[in-house]
Structure 1
Amino acid sequence: MDTPLPTTKTVVSYSSSSFEIQENNTNPSKISQNDPNNKDLESQKTISIQDLDVLAVVDYSKRAQWLRAAVLGANDGLLSTASLMMGVGAVRTDVKTMILTGIAGLVAGACSMAIGEFVSVYSQYDIELSQMKREKSANNIDKNEYDAKKDELPSPLQAAGASAFAFAMGALVPLLAAAFVKNYHARLGVVVAASSFALIGFGGLGAFLGRVSLVKSSLRVLVGGWMAMGITFGLTKLIGKIGV
């Protein structure tokens, strides 16, 4: 009666810093049919792979928050400036008036976004700093550890600058689109077209960051932008006709 060959058993163990693959092989040439102890491990092969985290989950939360805020700021700049230019374009046909209105909207919006972000982040900074001071007194935290945690707090100036920059970048899209088109109707069409493409891009980027449907997010942002521009244009046109 034939003696069955020993099987191969593979054991995989891993931690946050490394994992090992242990393969237990029994050499058939060394098997004694009369010795049951030979069923135990006779040789062990270990493959170690260092610096590989099998269960690693990269934390992009902080980076994603900043990028998401930048996308929202750019979207606000694009939509508010385009709507403002469309509103003025409803009652004035010259390109100079539309461009100056867009520039005024860019500057005012960027300043507003920067100041609002500065106040908001500074309030958060003060709250977290006060909490850290209380923890330092209660837990006797080392000064180096305290300084390291303090350096990780959000910077109000950096947040304000990033918000203003993002708003300005978004506002430049309709401005640059309208600056080189002299014909009135063509200029309005170019502003809407350029803004629509940018809205789709911002919606897609927001969907990527939020890991949601790309098509639904882009369409939602696009339709919302069309509604904002259409309502602004229509109401301004109506108000201009009744002579208010």
Structure 2
Amino acid sequence: MPSRWRHTERHRTDRIGWLRAAVLGANDGIVSTASLVLGVAAASADHSSILLTGVAGLVAGAMSMAAGEYVSVHSQADTEGADLAREQAELDADPAAEHRELSAIYAGRGLDAELSRQVATQLMAHDALGAHARDELGISDTLSARPVQAALASAASFAAGAALPLAVTALVPGPGLIGWVAATSLLFLALLGALAARAGGARMGLGAWRVCFWGALAMAITAGVGALFGAVV
């Protein structure tokens, strides 16, 4: 029998930060770029204008995703930092009250009063702030905000997603462009949704259907607007 117990289970919660940013970025890259291409193509623009629009959408979208993700996740990190600073101040000012608070949390989860006090005592002796951050505030190293990681993942995944319909646009000039871009973009979205669902432990079919539905709706509306304005102009 081994002398030390080893935890061999694999969980997916450590993927939440980068997986959310990557899926969001790739999905937006495919949908927004394909929609731009279809909208401009439906307005009867020439092939070079369509391609230029797609390239501009890729660059602008990647930068926008990176900036937006960094700002939003940094706001979360700032909030977490402020909460941790406040918790540390409370621990310094009145550790006994914080011990009672932590004991009450464990008692509320089903431990008896004496065991709750013992657990709180041992955890606070080991890492008081870490125990309160995890069990009172819900902050952990696994789920904590990482702004730079989220920004880079969003920008890279957006560019990768946008490159797919853009490549189809470059390879298929002519009257068949709209059909090819729409069909291949839906295929790309289905694959993305299935892979994201698999990585997150969800049903692949449901993940594929979800992104395909909203992607098709966005492309249809944008193409309709392009055709309408193209006819007016």
Amino acid paired to 1:190: W
Q: Answer whether contact 2:17 2:146 (CA < 8 A) is retained.
A: no
Aligned to 2:182: 192
Amino acid paired to 2:216: W
Match of 1:232 among 210, 216, 222: 222
Q: How does 1:1-244 map to 2 (within 5 A)?
A: 48-53=1-6, 57-140=9-92, 152=141, 153-182=144-173, 184-243=174-233
Q: Which moved more, 1:78-87 or 1:116-125?
A: 116-125
Q: Which runs of 5+ in 2 are unaligned?
A: 93-123, 134-138
Q: Answer whether contact 2:31 2:185 (CA < 8 A) is retained.
A: yes
Name whichever structure is richer in strand by fraction. 1
Change (3 A) 1:131 1:216: closer
Q: Distance in 2 between matches of 1:50 and 1:185?
A: 70
Q: Distance in 2 between matches of 1:219 and 1:133?
A: 44
Deviation of 1:107 (Å): 1.6
Amino acid paired to 1:112: S
Deviation of 1:240 (Å): 1.7
Bigger relative contact order (CA 8 A; separation at least 6): 2
Change (3 A) 1:99 1:76: same
User: Could you say what secondary structure the match of 2:69 adopts?
Assistant: helix
Deviation of 1:193 (Å): 2.6
Which of the two has higher C-alpha Rg? 1
Among the aligned pairs, what percent are the same residue? 42
Q: Answer whether contact 2:17 2:145 (CA < 8 A) is retained.
A: no
Q: Distance in 1 between matches of 2:73 and 2:217?
A: 31
Deviation of 1:179 (Å): 0.9
Amino acid paired to 1:129: G
Q: Distance in 2 between matches of 1:67 and 1:51?
A: 32
User: Could you say what secondary structure the match of 1:58 adopts?
Assistant: coil
User: Could you say what secondary structure the match of 2:175 adopts?
Assistant: helix
| Deviation per residue, 1:33-52 (Å, 9 max, x gap) | xxxxxxxxxxxxxxx13445
Q: Distance in 2 between matches of 1:51 and 1:218?
A: 42
Q: Which runs of 5+ in 1 are unaligned?
A: 1-47
Aligned to 2:99: none
Change (3 A) 1:57 1:174: same
| Deviation per residue, 1:49-81 (Å, 9 max, x gap) | 344557x54333132331132112100111011
Q: Which moved more, 1:208-217 or 1:100-109?
A: 208-217
Aligned to 1:26: none
Q: Answer whether contact 1:203 1:218 (CA < 8 A) is retained.
A: yes
Q: Distance in 2 between matches of 1:217 and 1:110?
A: 23
Alignment: residue pair count: 192
Deviation of 1:151 (Å): 11
Q: Answer whether contact 2:21 2:150 (CA < 8 A) is retained.
A: no
Deviation of 1:156 (Å): 2.0
- Which consecutive segments of 4 or more residues in structure 1 shift more than 4 A? 50-54, 144-147, 149-153
Q: Distance in 2 between matches of 1:199 and 1:145?
A: 46
